[in-house]
Amino acid sequence: MDRLNELINIILGIHVDMTWFLVLSALMMFIGIYGFLTRRNTLAILISVELMLNAADINFAAFNRMLFPEGQEGYIFALFSIAISAAETAIAIAVMINIYRNLKNNFVANLDKLKW
C-alpha cells in the first residue's frame, strides 16, 4: 500500500509541460507513417492516417494552451481539421466499400490492376 501511495504521489507530482505533448504527437505521427507503409489492409492504412492527422491536432491544441493562451487560433484549427478528416474518412470508406463489392476483400495486394 505504501509503495502504491508513493507511486501515486510521484505521478501527481509530475509537471506536464510542452515536451510531453510534443513527444506524444511526434510518436503518433511516426507510428502513423510506419503503419501507412506496412499495413496490408486498406482500412488499417486509413486508421494509420487518422493517427497522423490527430498528431497534428494535438500539436495545435498544445501550442495554443502552452505558448499562446491569449488566442484561440490553434483550437479552431484543430476543430476544422477534425471535421475535414472526418469528411475524408467518410469518402475513403465509401471507396473501400466499393472495392469490397467488386473484390470481396480489402487487401492492398489485390489492388494490382494498374501497374507500371
Partner 1 sequence: MDYSQFLYMHDEISLIAVIVILFLADLFLCGDRKSGTVSKALSLLPVGLLALQTAYIASALLCPCGDGMSEAFGGMYQNTPVMTLVKVVLNVGTIIVFLMADSWMKRPENQIKVGEFYMLTLSTLLGMYYMISSGHFLMFFIGLELASIPMTALIAYTKNNQESAEAAAKYILTALFSSGLLLYGISLVYGTCGTMYFDELAAKFSPADTLQLAALVLFISGIGFKISLVPFHLWTADTYQGAPTTVTGYLSVISKGAAAFVLFTILVKVFQPMVEQWNTIMLWIIIFSITVANLFAVRQNNIKRFMAFSAISQAGYLVLGVMGGTAQGMTSLVYYLFVYMVANLGVFLIINVTEQNSGKINISDYNGFYQSNPKLSFIMTLCLFSLAGIPPFAGFFSKFFIFMAAFNAGFPVLVFIALVNTVISLYYYLLIVKAMYIVKNDAPIAPFRSDCYTKTAIAVCALGVVLGGIVSCIYGYIDTLSYGL
Question: Which residues of this chain interact with partner 1, rule CB under 8 A?
Answer: 25, 29, 32, 36, 42, 45-46, 49, 52-53, 55-57, 59-60, 63-64, 67-68, 71, 73-74, 76-77, 80-81, 84-85, 87-88, 91-92, 94-96, 98-99, 102-103, 111, 113-115
- Classified as helix, coil or strand, 67 is coil
- Nearer Cβ to partner 1, position 8 or 27? 27
- Nearer Cβ to partner 1, position 20 or 68? 68
Percent helix, strand, coil in the chain, to 5, is 80, 0, 20
- Nearer Cβ to partner 1, position 7 or 103? 103
Cα separation of 2 and 101, whole Å? 59
Cα separation of 29 and 114, whole Å? 29
Contact (CB, 8 A) for 28 and 58: yes
- Nearer Cβ to partner 1, position 1 or 114? 114
Nearest-approach distance from CB 15 to partner 1, in angstroms: 20
Cα separation of 87 and 85, whole Å? 5
